[in-house]
Each structure stands twice: as C-alpha cells, then as structure tokens.
Chain A
Amino acid sequence: GEDVEQSLFLSVREGDSSVINCTYTDSSSTYLYWYKQEPGAGLQLLTYIFSNMDMKQDQRLTVLLNKKDKHLSLRIADTQTGDSAIYFCAEMSGNNRLAFGKGNQVVVIP
C-alpha cells in the first residue's frame, strides 16, 4: 500500500521561512495535499498539487513536487505564530484512497 513519510519536528523563528518535507511511494497518486491541524482542532486543507505539476504557489505557501524522487515539500514564507501546528502531507490514489503521513510539528518562536 501507500507509504507516506515525514520528519517529525521543526522549530522556526517568526518571520523566517519554514520548509516541511514528505516522501511517498505510490507513483500512481493523482493529487498530493498539505493539511494543517491546529491544537485541539480538526484537519483543514491548506493546498494541493496535481501530479503533473512541479510547483504551486499560493500566497505564503509554495509546494514543490519532485515526481521522479516522490518528494513533496511545503515552504511557508514569513512564518507567523498562527502557523504553529501539525502539518500532514497526503496522497490520493486512483481508487479514491486518501493516505496521510506521520505529520510534522511546527513550532514558531516569537
């Protein structure tokens, strides 16, 4: 089955950029996602990228996809205290299966 890998913890100073990485193994994935989970809250979609794209920019968020290496990254520019959360990458396969990684805890230091 699909296996999505993420590193676990990142601390970053307010105003700096933060980069979160993810690897996946299912080359048939059609869409890849980044979700955010704030403390005590449910998961919310941040952004997504279609598998035939290399990059997508959405305001402070930049998603890079390296399909050859099955590597996905999320860059947050000008990180703010409200960005403190757990970030999950996820992939959707052709059979509608939605699988998530282990998550990456981001702590923004004022």
Chain B
Amino acid sequence: DVKVTQSSRYLVKRTGEKVFLECVQDMDHENMFWYRQDPGLGLRLIYFSYDVKMKEKGDIPEGYSVSREKKERFSLILESASTNQTSMYLCASSPRGQGGTEAFFGQGTRLTVV
C-alpha cells in the first residue's frame, strides 16, 4: 500500500518559532511537493523537488525553505513562523517523467501559528 506520511496532523506554534514539517514517502518517487491549502485559494505550490538535493521554488516560496537530503524525505521549514502561515500543509510525491501517473498525497498538517 503506497504511502505518504506527514509527521504531524495538528501543530500549534508561536510566532517567531522555527518550524519543521516532515514528509516521508515509501514509493521511491523522484518528485516531491509541498502545498498549502487555504479556503478559496485552492492548493498553492510552495516548493518542489525532482531529485535528492534538488529544489525548485513554487508560486509562494517566501518565508519557507526545504530540504531533500534523502530521496524518501522532503522537509518544509518555516524559518520564523508568522500568523499568516496558519494553514493546512499538504505533501505529495510522484514518479518523474511519467506525467500520466498519480501524485500521492499525505493526510496534511494543520498548522496554527499563534
């Protein structure tokens, strides 16, 4: 059974804290993605990675960074959390070069910054 696992379902952090959101996939996928989902705004791409140590900015990278040291793990880092980063964060993975295949999503991390 394929799986994308996000380390936390719910997280509450204080303004200014450094926050790590972890995502692990067990499908040996090359591509991994981080999105945030907000009502009325859909899924917005923050960063993606198509290989180990490779990363590309998405549409809203400001205030975020990522790390892909191993193929199975893609971490999203909020360097200094702010209240406008309160959101649902979704991680996904997919095989590279096979555009007709599915991207698999984790269950999401609902982050609240107070």
A residues near B (Cβ < 8 Å) are 1, 4, 6, 8, 30-31, 33, 41-45, 48, 50, 88, 90, 92, 95-103
The answer to whether B42 touches A98, judged by C-beta atoms less than 8 angstroms apart, is: no
Main secondary structure of the interface of A (DSSP, over half): strand
- A/B pair count, beta carbons within 8 Å: 64
User: If A48-B100, A96-B96, A98-B94 touch, does A6 touch B42 (CB 8 Å cutoff)?
Assistant: yes
What A residues does B94 contact at CB under 8 A? 96, 98
Tell me the complex Cα distance, A33–B103, Å: 10
In the assembled complex, 7 residue pairs joining A and B whose CB atoms fall closer than 8 Å, in A order, are A33-B103, A43-B105, A92-B99, A96-B97, A97-B58, A99-B45, A102-B41
What B residues does A92 contact at CB under 8 A? 99
The answer to whether B92 touches A96, judged by C-beta atoms less than 8 angstroms apart, is: no
